[in-house]
Amino acid sequence: MDVLEVAARATATGPVCDACLGRLVADRSFGLSNAERGSALRTALALRDDEDHEPVDTGACWVCEGRCTEFNEWAERAAEAAEGTEFATYNVGTRPPPLIEENEALLREEAGLDDDAGEPFKSEFNREVGKRFGRLTGAEVSFDRPDVQFTIDLAEDEIDAKVNSTFVYGRYRKLERDIPQTEWPCRECKGSGRKGPDPCDHCGGSGYLYDDSVEEYTAPVVEDVMDGTEATFHGAGREDVDALMLGTGRPFVIEVEEPRRRRVDVERLQSDINAFADGAVEVEGLRLATYDMVERVKEHDAAKRYRAQVAFDADVDADALAAAIEELEGTTVEQYTPNRVDHRRASITRERDVYEATAEVDDARRATVEIHGEGGLYIKELISGDEGRTEPSLAGLLGVGAEVTALDVVAVEGEDEPFEREEFFRD
Ligand SMILES: [Zn+2]
Ligand SMILES: [Zn+2]
């Protein structure tokens, strides 16, 4: 249908504002706001009908009930709602009152249009308030995980500002043994410590099996600096509690919920963490990252280099050890899920490659073994054979019992350059 005919029918229904009029035909022209479209239509219509085209007072619009005059006001309310919070990106969503949606449907019907013609009131409201908010604050609109998500509830006359998490990427080294990566709740009391007169024997009432964790040495510092409400540590896999993490360190992401500060000095944050962790844990390469890094870090199944101190239960000579190590190098190992691994995980047999293996005899009963292996290779079991569940193994090849007495991860490999928060670095 001709746009002027649409405009004639729409304006005949009663007072309709320029925005509501223009929105009916928003899909027929580009580069204008709906209010500009509506105003142009009204002028053209007056010319066609040879009427005096002085702007007419249309009164309160029956379709939006005057809401289309409130864009500035809502943009200002959004800025107030986010005051005191640092953000670079935002998005605006609107819940229109049901009555307005009914009015819209009615107007389309009266104007002879399909239900989905033009643009819905809701999207115009989101866009117009969003544009104004962007001008007020200098932030950029983003539909993919904005820093702040506003929801305007027109019927309730309320605006909600949801502050999304922010993320810091880095690598950690663990320089002391017996530190788990994350808090380890006691399995006897399930973390409660059984408060009161009957403390849990297993954990001494603390609820945790270990006093410290890599998470506790790092996440609270980040939470504090970013002034958030909660911080969570996500590691790219984890070493055993009794293993050191040396060399390159292991990638991690710390997620901070509802941060009031995002654009922090990462070098300073890094030295704050390292001072707090006091030599037990060390972090490096800290960066402000995007939320995608959590998944990337969790899926990171990188090749690793390990150094293991091995004890044999009978004498082993250097030639026999060298021959066994040569067998292991380049081999594909079949490992049935080890006994010591969390039994909530499904037990499966998996294949992992040993890329390189070297060994040095320390004395007749002890050796230092270095393994460069595929992500997911269980090193303790590769050495011990895990009662036949890992094949081949160093113990199996030697025909001698072998056990890892100390294990260090010396490198976590792989490309894992973080997705940085680019908008923070543009200037
Ligand atoms: Zn209106
Ligand atoms: Zn307990």
Cβ pair 121, 99 in contact under 8 A:
no
Task: Please tell me the distance between residue 191's alpha carbon and the centre of ligand 2 in angstroms.
Answer: 6
Catalytic residue among 240, 272, 386, 408: 240
Q: Counting ligands in written order, which one lies closest to the CA of residue 201?
A: 2
407-416 confidence digits (pLDDT tens) = 999 999 875 6
Which one, of 150, 140, 114, 149, lies nearest residue 1 by Cα? Answer: 114
- Is the pTM here over 0.85, yes or no? no
Q: At 188, list the tokens.
A: 């006897």
Interstrand relation of 402-412 and 230-235 (parallel, antiparallel or unpaired): unpaired
Which pLDDT score, from 0 to 100, does residue 426 have? 46
> What class does CATH assign to 304-412?
alpha beta
Q: Tell me if residue 240 is catalytic.
A: yes
Which pLDDT score, from 0 to 100, does residue 156 have? 96
Q: Counting ligands in written order, which one lies closest to the CA of residue 19?
A: 1
Which pLDDT score, from 0 to 100, does residue 425 have? 47
> What class does CATH assign to 171-300?
alpha beta
Fold of 3-163: THUMP fold (3.30.2300)
Question: What is the C-alpha to C-alpha distance for residues 220 and 211, in angstroms, rounded to an integer?
Answer: 15
Helices (H), 159-208: none
Which pLDDT score, from 0 to 100, does residue 406 have? 95
Q: Using the structure block, give the residue that is written with the tokens 């040993």.
A: 354
Residues 6+ apart with CB under 8 A from 325: 357, 358, 359, 369, 394
User: Where in the sequence of the chain do the CATH 3.30.70.3190 domains occur?
Assistant: 304-412
Partnered with residue 288 across adjacent β-strands are 168
Task: Please tell me the distance between residue 63's alpha carbon and the centre of ligand 1 in angstroms.
Answer: 5
The type of residue at 240 is D
Task: Please tell me the distance between residue 215's alpha carbon and the centre of ligand 2 in angstroms.
Answer: 20
User: Where in the sequence of the chain do the CATH 3.30.70.2510 domains occur?
Assistant: 171-300
Task: Please tell me the distance between residue 211's alpha carbon and the centre of ligand 2 in angstroms.
Answer: 12
Which one, of 180, 176, 173, lies nearest residue 342 by Cα? Answer: 180
Please give the average pLDDT of every successive group of 10 residues along the chain, which has 427 residues: 90 94 90 92 87 61 95 97 95 96 95 91 96 96 94 97 96 95 87 82 85 94 97 92 93 96 95 96 94 86 93 96 97 91 76 96 96 94 95 97 96 72 54
Task: Please tell me the distance between residue 80's alpha carbon and the centre of ligand 2 in angstroms.
Answer: 46
What is the biggest distance separating any 2 CA atoms in the chain, rounded to whole angstroms? 110
Which pLDDT score, from 0 to 100, does residue 47 have? 87
Which pLDDT score, from 0 to 100, does residue 73 have? 97
Task: Please tell me the distance between residue 282's alpha carbon and the centre of ligand 2 in angstroms.
Answer: 29
Q: What is the CA radius of gyration of the chain?
A: 32
Cβ pair 278, 244 in contact under 8 A:
no
Question: What is the C-alpha to C-alpha distance for residues 63 and 23, in angstroms, rounded to an integer?
Answer: 11
User: Where in the sequence of the chain do the CATH 3.30.2300.10 domains occur?
Assistant: 3-163
Cβ pair 239, 379 in contact under 8 A:
no
Which pLDDT score, from 0 to 100, does residue 53 have? 52
306 is in an annotated binding site: yes
Q: Counting ligands in written order, which one lies closest to the CA of residue 199?
A: 2
284-305 confidence digits (pLDDT tens) = 999 999 888 888 888 878 899 9
Question: What is the C-alpha to C-alpha distance for residues 85 and 106, in angstroms, rounded to an integer?
Answer: 41
Whether residue 259 has a cis bond before it, omega within 30° of 0 = no
Question: What is the C-alpha to C-alpha distance for residues 117 and 123, in angstroms, rounded to an integer?
Answer: 13
Q: Counting ligands in written order, which one lies closest to the CA of residue 17?
A: 1
Task: Please tell me the distance between residue 123's alpha carbon and the centre of ligand 1 in angstroms.
Answer: 14
Question: What is the C-alpha to C-alpha distance for residues 115 and 107, in angstroms, rounded to an integer?
Answer: 10
291 is in an annotated binding site: no
For residue 67, give the 3-state DSSP assignment: helix
Question: What is the C-alpha to C-alpha distance for residues 34 and 22, in angstroms, rounded to an integer?
Answer: 4
Cβ pair 175, 408 in contact under 8 A:
no
Partnered with residue 107 across adjacent β-strands are none
* H helix or E strand, kind and range, residue 81: helix 71-81
